[in-house]
Amino acid sequence: MVAHINTVAFQGVEARLVDVQVQMAPGLPAFTLVGLPDKAVAESRERVRAALTAIGLALPPKRITVNLAPADLPKEGSHYDLPIALGLLAAMEVISAETLSRYYVLGELSLDGSITAVAGVLPAAIGANAAGKGLICPESCGSEAAWASESIDILGPGTLVQLVNHFKGMQVLSRPEPGMAEEAGQLPDLSDIKGQESAKRALEVVAAGGHNLLMIGPPGSGKSMLAQRLASILPPMDAHEMLEVSMIASIAGNLTDGRISPRRPFRSPHHTASPAALIGGGIRAKPGEISLAHHGVLFLDELPEFSPRVLESLRQPLESGQTMIARANHHVTYPSRFQLIAAMNPCRCGRAGEPGHTCKRGRKCADDYQAKISGPMLDRIDLRIEVPALSAADLVLPPPRESSADVAKRVYVARDIQHQRYRSSPGSNTTNAQADGELLEKVATPDDAGLQLLREASDVMQLSARGYHRVLRVARTLADLENVENLGRIHIAEALSYRTSSLELRSAA
Ligand SMILES: Nc1ncnc2c1ncn2[C@@H]1O[C@H](COP(=O)(O)OP(=O)(O)OP(=O)(O)O)[C@@H](O)[C@H]1O
Ligand SMILES: [Mg+2]
């Protein structure tokens, strides 16, 4: 007899059904595992054997074959322990195979028979629900699985014994409740920042329209401070966004105690990050920082210090909102619609362009440093602003009265206008930064005076077609912040002002 248990293999955030087949046949005692298992899966034989021993069961002296079908789908991770153990228990007729066939199963086993947390429970629960099945998962992942649907049957045992007792009717496992993360403390507030009014305005625009931003300024002017405060003015995620973000976090094993949060992700990888860490991939094709920042912010501090390869690899996901990682025999796609916030100094000494300062290496200092950011990369950044050094006079001023909460209110209103606007349009965009092509033309056509200014400016500034559209998107956001429908000259003028910075002036000179 062959026992069948349903489990999953992950391809991106998608859970594909894997059939665990267990056969016990007469012959020399052996325990073989086939079906393209990776190292962690191959090792599960030992964990399963030990866990069964721990609950007082020994494997029968037979020829045991475990097959993970389909055979051509790579099986990675440690979540196959529990389905294999349950397949053995079904083959040994300890638990009814018919009952188990109503569930998808995943979990890792300890040698003492306890079931430990695994990554990817939320996508597995969504897959199980779509297939009309229930889910058996580790206890600590139960609240994560409960988000998949209100009606899905979930069993979250802490140990193998509890699960066996549940099926024997000696103990009842209750359905876990969906868990919300408690927000860890207050986010840093905008009111900590003195002066820098134009940078704060740019931050508000960026938050309202989901645009990309580059801040250029001398050391200690508050660039990192500003970026870290963006999270405090972004609107919370809606239910759909929260689920998408949590699926990626679940695959990456980043959901603590299976709790999910409405706060937008804010990822700030160090500049020594490798392409695999940033984009995704590596041995298990895990999501990278850009996917973990989906629907949130990717903050690249000290932008020119990132390796050129890493920076250039951001170009494609920045446009398409997703990342495709090619593996030896398949592709994995992760969503990565993030907002890029970057900060840099104007030159290696950090003070180029300041009145009275001359770099030791002259103009070359700034030119060489800024040349590390390629033109196409810069073209993808809607707002580029300078954050000048603060004078002592600014620093002794009392703290500003406006707090993050005040700015967040305006941002929320502007985002709501965009939601209403794009709700009926095709595609999944919800912000001005994502509006494209025909849709952009429909929602962001300036009035005559605005159009004239834009025409003149694009000749003088040599705007690319992409640059032209990006100006329109920012202008749309500026109008939305004012809650006006008409896109006027004033909006175009402010949007254009965000595209000129010392960086351009230098390259134009
Ligand atoms: N506008 C400001 N208001 C109050 N404090 C500030 C301001 N700007 C800078 N500071 C102080 O200076 C410190 C350094 O600021 P921050 O790290 O943001 O600078 P930076 O621009 O990122 O510099 P670098 O280019 O060296 O990374 C802050 O921790 C804060 O104490
Ligand atoms: Mg900094």
Q: What is the DSSP letter of 180?
A: B
Q: Which atom of ligand 1 is nearest to the CA of 215?
A: 21
Q: Which atom of ligand 1 is nearest to the CA of 228?
A: 18
Check residue 493 and give its pLDDT.
94
State the CATH class of domain 2-168: alpha beta
- Identity of the amino acid at 283: I
Determine the average pLDDT of the residues in 324-331: 78
Q: Which atom of ligand 1 is nearest to the CA of 387?
A: 21
- Mean pLDDT, the chain, rounded, equals 89
Check residue 269 and give its pLDDT.
95
Let me know: does 388 contact 185? Beta carbons within 8 Å.
no
Check residue 239 and give its pLDDT.
86
Is the pLDDT reported for residue 26 higher than 50? yes
Determine the average pLDDT of the residues in 82-96: 94
Say yes or no: CB of residue 193 within 6 Å of ligand 1: yes
Distance from the CA of 344 to the center of ligand 1, in angstroms?
Answer: 13
Say yes or no: CB of residue 199 within 6 Å of ligand 1: no
Let me know: does 80 contact 141? Beta carbons within 8 Å.
no
Say yes or no: CB of residue 390 within 6 Å of ligand 1: yes
Check residue 501 and give its pLDDT.
55
Q: Percent of the chain at pLDDT above 70?
A: 96
Q: Percent of the chain at pLDDT above 90?
A: 58
* Cα–Cα distance for residue pair 470/483, rounded to 1 Å: 20
Range with lowest mean pLDDT among 106-110, 284-288, 456-460, 478-482: 284-288
| 256: Cβ contacts below 8 Å, ≥ 6 apart | 181
Check residue 427 and give its pLDDT.
67
> How does residue 508 score in pLDDT terms, banded at 50, 70 and 90?
very low
Let me know: does 471 contact 492? Beta carbons within 8 Å.
yes
pTM above threshold 0.85: yes
Q: What share of the chain is helix, strand, coil (3-state, %, to 5)?
A: 40, 15, 40
Say yes or no: CB of residue 222 within 6 Å of ligand 1: yes
Distance from the CA of 273 to the center of ligand 2, in angstroms?
Answer: 17
Check residue 509 and give its pLDDT.
36
* Cα–Cα distance for residue pair 267/279, rounded to 1 Å: 13
Is the pLDDT reported for residue 428 higher than 80? no
Determine the average pLDDT of the residues in 392-417: 88
Ligand nearest to the CA of 301: 2
| pLDDT tens digits, one per residue of 247-263 | 999 999 888 777 888 88
In which residue are the tokens 């009926």 written? 424
> How does residue 506 score in pLDDT terms, banded at 50, 70 and 90?
very low
| pLDDT tens digits, one per residue of 111-141 | 999 999 999 999 999 999 999 999 999 999 9
Say yes or no: CB of residue 221 within 6 Å of ligand 1: yes
Ligand nearest to the CA of 193: 1
Ligand nearest to the CA of 216: 1
Check residue 299 and give its pLDDT.
96
Choosing from 191, 225, 305, 385 the residue with most ligand 1 atoms within 8 A of its CB, the one to mutate for a pocket test is 225
Distance from the CA of 501 to the center of ligand 1, in angstroms?
Answer: 20
Check residue 72 and give its pLDDT.
84
Nearest CA to ligand 1 atom 27: 219
Q: Is 357 helix (H, G, I), strand (E, B) or coil?
A: coil
Say yes or no: CB of residue 194 within 6 Å of ligand 1: yes
Distance from the CA of 196 to the center of ligand 2, in angstroms?
Answer: 15
| pLDDT tens digits, one per residue of 197-241 | 899 999 999 999 999 999 999 998 899 999 999 999 999 998 889
* Cα–Cα distance for residue pair 332/315, rounded to 1 Å: 18
* Cα–Cα distance for residue pair 303/179, rounded to 1 Å: 37
Ligand nearest to the CA of 220: 1
Determine the average pLDDT of the residues in 271-295: 89
Domain spans, the chain: 2-168
> How does residue 505 score in pLDDT terms, banded at 50, 70 and 90?
very low
> How does residue 503 score in pLDDT terms, banded at 50, 70 and 90?
low
* Cα–Cα distance for residue pair 156/139, rounded to 1 Å: 4
Is the pLDDT reported for residue 178 higher than 90? no
